[in-house]
A and B are shown apart, each in its own frame.
Chain A
Amino acid sequence: MKFLTTNFVRCPISKCDNSLKAFPLQYKNCELIQEELEFNPEFLANILDRLNWEAIIAVAGDLGNDSLPPTKPENVDPKDPENEQLLKDLHTLLIETQITEGEMHCGECGHIYYIKSSIPNFLLPPHLV
């Protein structure tokens, strides 16, 4: 599971739909790896606009990284060499960092979803469907 994906998943249980505590999920007991992937600054600049930065910070914190800027970098021009380092750092974090094993806890209902062999599983037991 790429770090990026943590910004796009939340608890699928209906009663958590409108809860502010159901996103982001809380990441616990996680194992990480870095997997090298092509750097695409234009792609990253576009994706950056779409991110919920507070959730990025929260999940990074869960995973032991407290070094992110507190506010989202805005209007990042991917062609400006000054932004290269920032975009490279984002690439390393969002695209290359993968959670291979771990737990995702819903802050609203407490349900735990598991990540195994890099694949998060959101299937619900029958009584919760």
Chain B
Amino acid sequence: MNSHSEEEQRMISVEDPALREQIYVHTVYNEIAPHFSHTRYKQWPIVEEFLKSRTLGSIGLDVGCGNGKYLGANKNVYIIGSDRSDQLVNLAYTNNSKIQSFSDTLVADGLKLPHFGNSFDFVISIAVIHHFSTPERRIEAIKHIISKLNVGGEALIYVWALEQQNSRRGWKEGMPQDILVPWVLQKNKKKKNRNDEDQEGTQEEEPETKMRYYHLYKKGELEENAEAAGAEVVRNGYERDNWWAVIKRK
């Protein structure tokens, strides 16, 4: 756990970061989409609270919306959820049409969103920025997000923390930050542990284990990235193995 595995070395040696993310993020999410979606139905309290406190008729974005679990959190706002994974967007679309929500879904890359700048009241991007594989691209992604905000608009960003001593993963300060996290695709899994959002297991030789790239954020790093992107941190914190920050344009 204190140094990179062979597969991680291979991942790091892929020179083009976009290609690296294609192999170790986008392809993987498309492969695990239905199973992944199955484990993602609970809304995280701070995200839910952020969305519920938006005013009637607000217009926002959910960048990297996954299965769209936040699109209907507030029935009085309109959110365009986007994601790179067309498989996850399919699920988001279906989920969203079942719940009488005004929100909508589309497939797009978080670095190339098909929207005007200066036109949204809020953005959320939950557990997405940590999938960009260089500091430059993570900062660029935050810059792109805040460029879409109106003056005064707020973005809520969540990223996975390096400091997870209390999780079963046990990562902590000093450990590698650019890692591959296994996802075990259980084919005929029926019973599910309700407290278990991720399914990283131990069966690394199993052919159905898919490896996803993550950059684990250490304390203060999200805020540094936000500032480098030209944003101001409004409030921030740590919740359930994640660092989060509400930011706005300076």
Interface residues of A (CB under 8 A from B): 1-2, 4-5, 8-12, 23, 35, 37-38, 40, 42-43, 45-47, 49-50, 95, 113, 117-124, 129
Bound form: Cα–Cα A50–B150 in Å: 12
CB neighbours (8 Å) of A50 from chain B are: 57, 59
Instruction: Report yes or no: B114 in contact with A119, Cβ–Cβ below 8 A.
Output: no
CA distance A19 to B161 in the complex (A): 40
Residues of chain B lying within 8 A (CB to CB) of residue A49 = 57
Q: CB-CB < 8 A to B86: which residues of A?
A: 119, 121
Distance between B165 CB and nearest chain A CB, rounded to angstroms: 38
The interface bits of chain B over 49-69 (1 if a CB of A lies within 8 angstroms of the residue's CB, else 0) are 000000011010000000000
Task: Name B97's contact: one of A4, A35, A43 (CB within 8 Å).
Answer: A35
Chain B, interface SS category: mixed
29 pairs, A vs B, C-beta closer than 8 Å: A4-B78, A4-B104, A5-B80, A8-B115, A8-B116, A9-B115, A10-B116, A12-B108, A12-B112, A37-B102, A40-B76, A40-B102, A42-B56, A43-B56, A45-B57, A47-B78, A49-B57, A50-B57, A117-B90, A117-B93, A120-B106, A121-B107, A121-B108, A122-B82, A122-B114, A123-B84, A123-B108, A124-B109, A129-B109
Q: Min CB distance, B137 to chain A, in Å?
A: 12
Tell yes or no: B188 within 8 A of A by CB: no
The answer to whether A129 and B90 touch across the interface, beta carbons within 8 angstroms, is no
- Give Cα distance in the complex from A38 to B106, angstroms: 22
Whether A8 contacts B93 in the complex (CB less than 8 A), given A43-B102, A123-B107, A124-B112, comes out as: no
Q: Across the interface, which residues of B come within 8 angstroms of A122, CB to CB?
A: 82, 106-109, 112-114
Q: Which B residues fall within an 8 A CB radius of A? A: 18, 56-57, 59, 75-76, 78, 80, 82, 84, 86, 89-90, 93, 97, 100, 102, 104-109, 112-116, 119
Rounded to whole Å, the gap between the CB of A79 and the closest CB of chain B is 13
In the complex, which residues of chain A have a beta carbon less than 8 angstroms from the beta carbon of B109? 12, 122-124, 129
Are A1 and B106 within 8 A (Cβ)?
yes
In the complex, the answer to whether B107 meets A120 with C-beta atoms within 8 Å is yes
Q: Which 7 residue pairs across A and B have the least CB separation, nearest first?
A: A46-B57, A122-B108, A12-B114, A122-B114, A121-B107, A12-B112, A5-B104
Query: Are A9 and B114 neighbours in the complex by a CB distance under 8 Å?
Result: yes
Residue of B nearest to A115 (CB): B106
CB distance from A43 to the nearest CB of B (A): 5
Considering the chains assembled together, what is the distance between the CA atoms of A11 and B115 in angstroms?
Answer: 8
CB neighbours (8 Å) of A117 from chain B are 90, 93
User: Which A residues are CB-close (under 8 A) to B90?
Assistant: 117, 119
Contact flag A47-B106 (CB < 8 Å), given A5-B80, A23-B116, A119-B86: no
Q: In the complex, A37 Cα to B72 Cα: how many Å?
A: 13
User: Hey, which chain A residues are within 8 Å of B76, CB to CB?
Assistant: 40, 42-43
Separation of A11 and B108 alpha carbons in the complex (Å): 11
Bound Cα distance A38, B76 (Å): 11
How far apart are the CA atoms of A38 and B99 in the complex, in Å? 10
Count chain A CB atoms within 10 A of each CB in B90, B102, B114 and give the residue with the most: B114
- Say whether, besides A119-B86, A121-B86, A129-B18, A2 and B104 are in contact (CB < 8 Å): yes
Q: How far is the CA of A40 from the CA of B109 in the complex (A)?
A: 31
**Which A residues touch B82, using CB under 8 A?**
122
CB of B100 within 8 A of CB of A38, answer: yes
What A residues does B108 contact at CB under 8 A? 12, 121-123
Instruction: Please indicate the chain B residues that have their CB under 8 angstroms from the CB of A123 in the complex.
Output: 84, 107-109
